[in-house]
Structures are given as structure tokens and as C-alpha cells.
Amino acid sequence: MKLSVILITKNEAANIRACLESVAWADEIIVVDSGSSDDTVAIAREFTPHVYKHDWPGFGAQKNRALGYATNEWVFSIDADERVTPELRAAIEAVLRKEEDACAAYRVSRLSSYCGRFMRHSGWHPDYIMRLFRRDVAHFSDDLVHERLLVEGQIGQLDGELLHYAFDNLEEVLHKVNHYSSAGAAMLQQRGRNASLGGAVLRGLWSFLRTYILRGGFLDGREGFMLAVSNAEGTYYRYLKLMLLNEAKK
């Protein structure tokens, strides 16, 4: 069996080369870019001719666009800040060599870093996500953010880990907190959800306690505390922005 790798990008010049080098062994690489102003597209074209430009409809819809360009039976979805390890590559290739496979998709263990530290607690590890799947039995949800892979069939699990360089520094954390909280608020509004100032505060506090205490963030040192705070901020701002969006709509 042959493998297609799909990837969506915008201004990922700092990440995309290492990402594509980790999957350069795939039979086909599909990149869908949403208006990068840096060298993302030029770097991507060093690895594949299949680079397409589209507007930005949200994470789920954009990944479905990339999936629509794939031509092989098996597909691996990756983000620009992720890297396939040699162990994970071997596990994927073992699946491709099977003459028959009862599984429609496979989960992958992802190990994520936060400001230079790989987090093994805080609710970040183990982090199993579906990334390898048969093209004809799967698609992404249309969520603006935190999209899900929807699969018809049995799910397996691969050996090896997917490395995720989620946040390199605090500036990147703050940028993504703002971006994801805005997208999350818009998605909640579409679903008819309501929010209040008090509710936003309580949800943010619960997010901190869940990350730092219940999920063992204190075991991740200072970065565990920093992550718990940024999770709390993201949750607080998401519901605060939802409250303001609903008020503006009225």
C-alpha cells in the first residue's frame, strides 16, 4: 500500500522543513496553504509538487480540502510543528505492508513540548490521536478549531511517538491563546452556547486546577505551572469572548 501525507499551513517557514523531512519517505505529500507571507510555500515545493492555495474556512474544512487531494488508500495527517520519529515511521510502514488489515484507522501517541520541555503530565501525555487512516472511510469534522477525525471502522494503535513542538516560547503561547480562544468562542456561538463573566472566571479556575492538580501538572516543574496558567487564560478568554459576541449579536 502507498501513503499520502496531508498538511495544512500558514506562515510555518520555521517549522515546515523539519516536518517534511520527517515524512519525506511517503509516496505523496499534500500541502494546502492559506496565504502564507513567509517562505512556507517555497520550502514545501522543495519536497512536493502538490502544494495548493486556499482561503481559510477553519481547521476541519481545510483538512478536508487537503484530504480531497490525496490519491492513496492510506493517509497520514500531520501538523507543521510535528515530527514523525523513526520508530513511528517503522510502525506506519508495517501497516502499509499488510495484505489485509481489519483496522480503518490508527491512533498515535503524541509527545508535546511547552517552552522547551516535553510534558509528560498536565493532561498532555499520554495523548493518543488518530492520524493514520484509510482515505475512503474517514473525514474531519467541520469544527473551526479542535477538529476531530471521524472514522467508520475499527481503530488500532501504533508504536512509536509523534513529536509535537507546540510552543517554543511564551510569545507563541500568548499568540495561540488569543487565536484559539477567538476561534473557540465563535464555534461555541454557532452552537448556541451562552456565557457570563462569573462563568468565565469559574471555568478558567477549574481549568487551572484540573491541569495542575488533577492531571499532575506540578510534576512538570515550572513549565507545568505555566501551562496550567495558560490553559486557564485560554478557557477564561474563550468564554469571555463568547459573552461579548452574544451581546454584540443582540
CATH number at residue 150: 3.90.550.10
Q: Average of pLDDT values for 37-47?
A: 98
Q: Average of pLDDT values for 183-203?
A: 96
DSSP secondary structure letters along 57-110 = --HHHHHHHHHHH--SSEEEE--TTEEE-HHHHHHHHHHHH-S--SEEEEEEEE
Instruction: Give yes or no: residues 156 and 237 share one domain.
Output: no
- Give residue-wise pLDDT tens across range 228-245: 999 999 999 999 999 999
Instruction: Give yes or no: residues 44 and 139 share one domain.
Output: yes
Instruction: Give yes or no: residues 158 and 233 share one domain.
Output: no
Q: Return the higher-pLDDT residue of 203 and 144.
A: 203
Instruction: Give yes or no: residues 151 and 211 share one domain.
Output: no
Instruction: Give yes or no: residues 27 and 51 share one domain.
Output: yes
Last residue of a domain, one of 99, 134, 167: 167
pTM listed for this prediction: 0.90
Q: Domain range for residue 149?
A: 3-167
Count: domains in the chain: 2
Q: Average of pLDDT values for 147-152?
A: 95
What are the C-alpha distances in Å from 197 to residues 33, 73, 178? Answer: 37, 48, 17
Q: Quick one: pLDDT at residue 204?
A: 98
How far apart CA 53 and CA 40 sit, in angstroms, is 11
Q: Quick one: pLDDT at residue 230?
A: 97
Q: Average of pLDDT values for 27-46?
A: 98
Residue 190: phi, psi to the nearest 5? -60, -30
